[in-house]
Structure 1
């Protein structure tokens, strides 16, 4: 794994897509994830922007993904609880159940061969579309190197 490449790619992508007003994502996480690897290999937070994720919480999220009962359970990231609303081949969308924001909040989760990429956004359908494009762009760049 070329960690320097992943780090540079993340920094460039995050600076253009995460955080400040007008960006498609309010926060993003890159989690090491190999569903075929031995169970003793723990998933870790490789990169994060706009959020301070708790490693125990992230391990619970990874367990949620591994159980693959996406439409039967909810998951937490930070204080927010999410319900999966649509599932696609290598990604899924979720909406926040306990948001205080009028327009709502959501999450896009994409799986590559070595990572789970989580993009969090504020808003509804238009915001979700922009978030999907941003997350997909990073996943595509990782895929070019088989990550």
Structure 2
């Protein structure tokens, strides 16, 4: 694993795309080590996080949600929010927050790369989702250059 490369790319990407103010496309993001083909004894861990603190129990439940392919039948929790999957694509899916108090709503984009799950959280609706997806795609493309 090229940790130096991952950390460098994350730090630059996070500083340009994640902020709790409304200027950036994402309010938080989480990078999780994830290899679905690896031995079951290998636990997924948080490689990087920005704008959110996820505890190990939440991480474990989220990874189980992904591993058991429950996208269409169950919800998942990240931080204080519960999400419902709204669209599923080849290596990513979108979800909307079910318990938000924000008028425009909140959403999540989860993308799987060869070695990671990228969880990106954003505030807003369709326009915000488009900006968030562009940010997620940019990071995934950079990891893909090294097959990560």
TM-aligned CA deviation for residue 122 of structure 1: 0.2
CA distance in 1, matches of 2:145, 2:69: 26
Alignment correspondent of 1:65: 66
Deviations 1:65-108 (A, max 9, x none): 01112010000000100000000000000000000100000000
Q: How many residues align?
A: 147
Q: Does 1:127 align with 2:124?
A: no
TM-score, L = length of structure 1: 0.98
Alignment correspondent of 2:31: 30
Q: Does 1:145 align with 2:132?
A: no
Stretches (4+) displaced over 4 A: none
Deviations 1:41-62 (A, max 9, x none): 0000000000011111011101
Alignment correspondent of 1:6: 6
Q: Does 1:47 align with 2:48?
A: yes
Aligned Cα root-mean-square deviation (Å): 0.6
Which ranges in structure 1 are unaligned for 5 or more consecutive residues?
none
Deviations 1:96-124 (A, max 9, x none): 00001000000000000000000000000
Which ranges in structure 2 are unaligned for 5 or more consecutive residues?
none
TM-score, L = length of structure 2: 0.98
TM-aligned CA deviation for residue 21 of structure 1: 2.8
SS in 2 for 1:84: strand
CA distance in 2, matches of 1:57, 1:118: 13
TM-aligned CA deviation for residue 134 of structure 1: 0.3
